[in-house]
Amino acid sequence: YRQGEASSVAVPTPNGTVYFGEHHPLVVVAGPCSVENEDMIVETAQRVKAAGAQFLRGGAFKPRTSPYAFQGHGESALNLLAAAREATGLGIITELMDAADLKPLAEVADVIQIGARNMQNFSLLKKVGAQDKPVLLKRGMAATIEDWLMAAEYVLAAGNPNVILCERGIRTFDRDYARNTLDLAAIPVLRSLTHLPIMIDPSHGTGRAEYVPAMAMAAIAAGTDSLMIEVHPNPKKALSDGPQSLTPDRFDQLMQELAIIGKPL
Ligand code: PEP
Ligand code: MN
């Protein structure tokens, strides 16, 4: 897997270049599952920035299990992300589901997310590999490490060296207590196999806000380079993934807890 190549991904943002990698400070990506309206995305961006995050996340195009669930506001949500970027200087990470949306999405996204469900959408991987925004590649929910690294290889082989790997929980036999099983062993395993930076998403990894802080701290202890945390100003009213979203206050407290774990923020 292209061992020996530069082991960090540099992402220019309005607030300066942020580096993802083993030899750089922890990078934190936070924000709601979905972009719901301008007030909530700008407010969330301000709160997560004040707490120390470098990136705002938020879906404009949502891959929902049910076609009747909220699908995201689509292209109009990209404008709201642009407003939040403008207001805070945070970098933006948002998911691309359809290559037809690449151009408008890449105008606002500083990092393009490919979600778990599209990890092996090879035509989409080739397309993000043929443009120059960095790519956040989430692990498919039933993907082996080999499947995942080969998916990353599609992006690299198409010419884009800037890929970040995000573990977000895999499907196991027990889904009664947590939505997924967060594979923290993936951190040292990836470190031994690839130079690509590592991100852990304990929000999708557990599906429950109350379990997120413990898994975020464990991920740092295990050596992750970055974290993705879902934060919503009013999780009970969220249009998607409310049960796993931290309030801004809880996120702020978590950031203070993380600062004492190890890797400097
Ligand atoms: C998300 O990050 O909002 C998301 C849909 O994640 P995943 O692809 O990991 O399910
Ligand atoms: Mn989500």
Considering every ligand atom shown, identify the ligand nearest to the alpha carbon of residue 115 and give its number: 1
CATH number at residue 108: 3.20.20.70
Within a domain: residue 2? no
Kindly report the protein residue whose alpha carbon is nearest to atom 10 of ligand 1.
116
Quote the number of domains for the chain: 1
Distances (CA, A) of 77 to 80, 152, 165, 229: 5, 27, 25, 20
**ipTM of the complex in this document:** 0.99
Q: How far is the centre of ligand 2, averaged over its atoms, from the C-alpha of 3 (Å)?
A: 32
* Most informative mutation of 70, 165, 204 for ligand 1 (most atoms within 8 A of CB): 204
Within a domain: residue 1? no
Within a domain: residue 138? yes
Domain with 84, as residue range(s), is 8-259
Within a domain: residue 51? yes
Within a domain: residue 264? no
* 136-180 residue pLDDT tens: 999 999 999 999 999 999 999 999 999 999 999 999 999 899 999
Distances (CA, A) of 102 to 51, 113, 119, 214: 30, 11, 16, 35
Kindly report the protein residue whose alpha carbon is nearest to atom 3 of ligand 1.
33
Q: How far is the centre of ligand 2, averaged over its atoms, from the C-alpha of 230 (Å)?
A: 7
Within a domain: residue 104? yes
* 55-88 residue pLDDT tens: 999 999 999 999 999 999 999 999 999 999 999 9
Within a domain: residue 265? no
* 93-132 residue pLDDT tens: 999 999 999 999 999 999 999 999 999 999 999 999 999 9
Tell me the whole-structure pTM to 2 decimals.
0.96
Q: How far is the centre of ligand 2, averaged over its atoms, from the C-alpha of 227 (Å)?
A: 14
* Most informative mutation of 44, 136, 168 for ligand 1 (most atoms within 8 A of CB): 168
Within a domain: residue 78? yes
